[in-house]
Chain A
Amino acid sequence: MSYIIYIIIQIFVMVLTAPLVNGIIKKAKAFSQKRTGPPVFQMYYDLYKLIQKGTVVSDVSSWIYKAAPYVVFSTALAAALLVPVSTLVTPTNSIPGDFILMVSVFALGRFFMMAAGLDTGSTFGGMGSSREAMISSLAEPSILVCLFTAGLIAGSTSLDGMMTFMQGTGTSPTHPVVVLLFLALLSIIMMETARIPVDDPSTHLELTMVHEAMLLEYSGRHLALMEYGAAIKQLVFMTLLVNLLIPHDQLIGFAGVGAVVVSLLIYLLKVILLAVLIALVEINTVKLRLFSIPNLAALSFILSFLAFLQYFLMGGGNV
């Protein structure tokens, strides 16, 4: 029973919050540019409108093109099941996966997205796939080393176990390991979710497009699913960061349904703050030249690696 409640809460929170995060980032960016910007809930309206529209399908494409949006969306949500939004509702016999599985589930979605980019025979799609292949390959070592380090500290690769452990020891947010992991994860989020130093989500310029180029042929409900999937993926990575490195469930002194509600509210607050932080990073950096991205990836890897060294060569101990 607790298992079903967990799944329902995960899916509802992720599905309902994901578009909001995009809205907040857009709003914050608009604010810095002295614009009003679209309403915070604009993405919900967009998705609703897209779902109702018909779709244009390229006559070159095959079933891969039509299957890809569903695969991307369902893999993003399936990965969301592995990253608890609140550890207070996780089932007693743990969730059926760990971060290695999460990475692999995302890889399934990405595989289909890149294949779909090639499926229409368009140059843009191929270009997007090719760049995505490069960026994701470069980000992968960093993601694994970063999560491995956190996992080793906690003694488990399960995200639920890791989050619970981090609460138990009362993680100090100023501990060098936590700071290094935070910075590494932040740069991973920038790379994985098509944010500004790597990719600009708001342009359709062929020189800079990566994620948008792969979706260029999509329309209607297929496009909605792709966009929704990307938003959920972004929220999954953000949840990973806030719940792992800035745990809060240990601060709630009481149990029961009330505690879950409070925990979820704090979670939302943390996600909103992180969204503003991401917007700040986007505002204050410029889009990198495509072949400068390896430098960012290397930086991110070095941060993760330093966190590992910091913990394991300086003798472990409590974080």
Chain B
Amino acid sequence: MGALQIDNFIHTSILIFAVGALVALALGKRDRLCNLVSNSICIAAGLLLMVASAMKLLSGSDLIQIELFQSSLPFLTLEMKIDNLSALFLMILSVLTICVSIYSMGYISHYYGKRHVGLFNFLYITFILSMIFVFTSSNAVFFYMAWEAMSLLSYFLVIFESERMENQRAGTLYIVMTHIATAFLLIGFMIIYSYTKSFDLFGSSDAIPDTAKNIIFILFLLGFSTKAGAIPVHIWLPYAHPAAPSNVSALMSGIMIKTAIYGLIRFVLGFLGVQHTWWGALLIGVGIVSAVLGVAYALMEHDIKRLLAYSSVENIGIILIGLGVSFTALAQGNEMIGALALIASILHAVNHTFFKGGLFLGAGSVHYATGTKDIEKLGGLIKVMPVTAVLVLCFSLAISAIVPFNGFISEWLTYQSIFAYIAPGQAGTNILFILAVAALGLAGALAAACFVKLFGISFLGLPRSEKISNVQEVPVTMNIGMGILAFLCLLMGVFPLFIIRLIDGVASDLIGNSILGQLQGGFLLTWYSMDLSGTVISPFEILIALGVLTLLALLAIRVFGGEYMERKYGTWDCGFEGINSRTQYTAAGFSKPIKIVFRILFRPSRKTEAIGGTYYYPDRIEYKVESESIFEKYVYLPAFSRIRTFSRRTKFLVQTGNIQNYLVYIFITILALMAYNRFV
């Protein structure tokens, strides 16, 4: 059981992934065979990778180094280095890959005979492969290559159903935003290189002066938060994630946006080292805005996948709040709280991977069965798709931070780290931190409202069209894929210490402070008490209590009330003709009160129009409610139109199309460079 074995495992799994990608292309025309074979290969490779990364985390072995490609060119040696942080992200990537691949075995069947399944699976596997490299690259050049490959491959997957105009537009927005982000990162890397003369991610940053570090931090924050989808640089996310096929959305929302969190931890915490309190405070600020606005926008969406995409923005906000608390505490030298908050933040990233991955798969199942993603057209699915309904309910509870699921544990840890930080005599940060508490509370309650809406309107009540009441439950592989994720959400919620133990390894790697001493209890024991005047929580006991109390209630009712007598009857209809699907509450109606309360965010407008007939008896009435997206309307659109006008104006001045002019440009550039080298 040495490091050797683990690196062989990882190497092999990468090879299997690569082989899988080629096999997918080779079998391209035989849809069914291709899909089954390439997904099986994916599952096998994922299992291997999961085992390897778990072994790394559990054994506590040293850094694992794997050289993929040796080159005499400087910086082109591609080397993977895997520490605990990389191993943890590899592990959640592999778990999600396994589940999504099982799911895809059924899900992709709707592409049979219609699309090039081989090409799709090729892109899907190489996308996963590119993320593995992002998490393991040891120098900035390799990181950049993997990052770029990840962006491009996911772009192709986003526009895979390219005949729809909206998907193309989503893809374009995505590729533009992601490259702006990459540009910021590149500038950051270059500044680092100009001081340290190295691209090594595991090197020292001592040579970089303080001002430069501040600039690099801002660049990295801009670059990574764009990829993560934090507000206000989130605008690509709600378009790109819904456009991709659902299994890819699950990967994108589940793990791809976490590469940005990985990047922030790796580059800022690991490489630069946190220097100033305001770094953390800025992160908390971005987190608060993303958490509250993300969920508020999610609540207004009626397209399941877009709702989920906005909810990803919210969860990124929660992760950033945790990370910000960690940075703030570390900048002030408080390693214990720094480690605690880092664990909270990473745990939320892990949790979000599982429940949001599951929710996107659930949205895929609904779309697969009914052909629509519009909540307003669904209803009553719990009767025709009972298994999917239960699984989506589990994920909804998990994402709303409700016991006994995993979302609660990470939010609890985030609250606890804030709680531990606040103390008299640090006025500014105290207020920011208590606002973070309020924001977390508001976001949590709004998330619950949002997922009651998602679940209640689409799965409960009456079906809103004839077609919906005749759909079939999805293929069993799809439910297995989601079922594993749901089980993990419950397991991590009831026995949280196991996963916290692994993440503690990451924190002690990075910060050098293990908080495990403060977590009492054994390997699978549920008790754990933080070092905070004996505050204990035990989700396991609450689960038992809920079970026992329910049984007691049943028993008491049986004793006092006797036999259960039930009569089926129609829902009360106030004496009218009977209710139908059009008298039901709609998703728009459900979120209306919140929309009115927060009208400053949505700027809703409504239009009622009577069409045909007489004034008093129109043939039909059209009622339209619209809300504005303030960031797009007031920030991005004006900026885009300025840029467009500018480029139109300069088009004929600079880009004349005349070859002499271009030769002059080249000449001037060479002169300038010569002058620079001579005099500077």
Partner-B contacts on A (CB < 8 A): 48, 51-52, 54-64, 70-71, 73-75, 77-78, 81, 93-98, 100-101, 103-105, 107-108, 110-111, 114-115, 117-127, 129-131, 133-134, 136-145, 148-149, 151-152, 154-158, 161, 216-217, 220-221, 224-225, 290-291, 294, 301, 305, 308-309, 311-313, 315-316
Residues of B within 8 A of A126 (CB): 456, 461, 584-585, 589-590
Identify the 5 closest CB pairs spanning chains A and B, nearest first. Answer: A126-B585, A54-B565, A118-B456, A316-B424, A133-B449
Residue pair A55, B460 in contact (C-beta under 8 Å):
no
Residue pair A52, B560 in contact (C-beta under 8 Å):
yes
Residue pair B456, A56 in contact (C-beta under 8 Å):
no
Chain B 580-604, CB within 8 Å of chain A: the 1/0 string?
A: 0101110001111110110000000
Q: How close is A191's CB to chain B, nearest CB, in angstroms?
A: 12
State the interface size on chain B (CB cutoff 8 A): 88
Residue pair A134, B542 in contact (C-beta under 8 Å):
no
**B169: interface (CB < 8 Å):** no
Residue pair A74, B546 in contact (C-beta under 8 Å):
yes
* Measured CA separation A309–B431 after assembly (Å): 8
Residues of A within 8 A of B592 (CB): 130
* Measured CA separation A115–B444 after assembly (Å): 17
Residues of B within 8 A of A114 (CB): 449, 452, 456
28 residue pairs from A and B, CB less than 8 Å apart: A48-B560, A51-B557, A57-B569, A58-B568, A75-B546, A78-B542, A78-B549, A100-B411, A107-B445, A114-B452, A114-B456, A118-B457, A119-B460, A120-B461, A121-B380, A122-B579, A126-B590, A133-B590, A136-B448, A137-B449, A140-B445, A141-B437, A144-B441, A161-B533, A161-B534, A291-B593, A291-B596, A309-B431
Q: Which A residue sits closest to B457, measured CB to CB?
A: A118
- Additional A-B contacts beyond A60-B380, A145-B437, A312-B424 (4; CB < 8 A): A133-B453, A139-B445, A141-B441, A154-B533
The stretch that binds A, out of B159-167, B178-186, B397-405, is B397-405
* Measured CA separation A130–B449 after assembly (Å): 8
Residue pair A60, B589 in contact (C-beta under 8 Å):
no
Within 8 Å by CB of A141, from B438, B536, B566, B590, lies: B438
Q: How close is B116's CB to chain A, nearest CB, in angstroms?
A: 40
**B562: interface (CB < 8 Å):** yes
The stretch that binds A, out of B54-62, B268-276, B317-325, B414-422, is B414-422
Residue pair A74, B422 in contact (C-beta under 8 Å):
no
Q: Which A residue sits closest to B424, measured CB to CB?
A: A316
Given the known interface contacts A97-B536, A101-B403, A145-B438, the answer about A312 and B430 at a Cβ–Cβ threshold of 8 Å is: yes
Residues of A within 8 A of B416 (CB): 157
Within 8 Å by CB of B444, from A56, A140, A221, lies: A140
Residues of A within 8 A of B529 (CB): 94
Residue pair A105, B542 in contact (C-beta under 8 Å):
yes
Residue pair B462, A134 in contact (C-beta under 8 Å):
no
Residue pair A104, B461 in contact (C-beta under 8 Å):
no
Given the known interface contacts A137-B594, A312-B422, the answer about A115 and B567 at a Cβ–Cβ threshold of 8 Å is: no
Q: Which A residue sits closest to B526, measured CB to CB?
A: A96
Chain B 436-471, CB within 8 Å of chain A: the 1/0 string?
A: 011111101110110111011100111000000000
Q: How close is A32's CB to chain B, nearest CB, in angstroms?
A: 31
* Measured CA separation A104–B539 after assembly (Å): 11
Residues of A within 8 A of B573 (CB): 122
Within 8 Å by CB of B532, from A105, A111, A131, A155, lies: A155
Q: Which A residue sits closest to B597, measured CB to CB?
A: A294
Within 8 Å by CB of B593, from A78, A130, A148, A161, lies: A130
Residues of A within 8 A of B437 (CB): 141, 144-145, 148
Q: Which B residue sits closest to A137, measured CB to CB?
A: B445
Residues of B within 8 A of A119 (CB): 456, 460-461
* Measured CA separation A103–B562 after assembly (Å): 34
Residue pair A145, B567 in contact (C-beta under 8 Å):
no
Residue pair A217, B572 in contact (C-beta under 8 Å):
yes
Within 8 Å by CB of B456, from A59, A70, A129, lies: A129
* Measured CA separation A8–B557 after assembly (Å): 19
Q: How close is B548's CB to chain A, nearest CB, in angstroms?
A: 8
Residue pair A115, B445 in contact (C-beta under 8 Å):
no
Within 8 Å by CB of B462, from A60, A97, A309, lies: A60
Q: Which A residue sits closest to B439, measured CB to CB?
A: A141
Residue pair B422, A104 in contact (C-beta under 8 Å):
no
Residues of A within 8 A of B527 (CB): 96
Q: Which B residue sits closest to A206, measured CB to CB?
A: B574
Q: How close is B266's CB to chain A, nearest CB, in angstroms?
A: 30
Residue pair A122, B572 in contact (C-beta under 8 Å):
yes
Residue pair A97, B537 in contact (C-beta under 8 Å):
yes
Residues of B within 8 A of A305 (CB): 434, 438
* Measured CA separation A88–B584 after assembly (Å): 51
Q: How close is A113's CB to chain B, nearest CB, in angstroms?
A: 9
Residues of B within 8 A of A121 (CB): 379-380, 460-462, 571, 579, 581, 584
Residue pair B585, A152 in contact (C-beta under 8 Å):
no
**B553: interface (CB < 8 Å):** yes
**B382: interface (CB < 8 Å):** yes
Residues of A within 8 A of B402 (CB): 104, 107-108, 111
Given the known interface contacts A108-B397, A158-B534, the answer about A96 and B541 at a Cβ–Cβ threshold of 8 Å is: yes
Chain B 5-46, CB within 8 Å of chain A: the 1/0 string?
A: 000000000000000000000000000000000000000000
Within 8 Å by CB of A123, from B397, B532, B585, lies: B585
Residue pair A97, B538 in contact (C-beta under 8 Å):
yes
Given the known interface contacts A121-B584, A126-B585, the answer about A143 and B441 at a Cβ–Cβ threshold of 8 Å is: yes
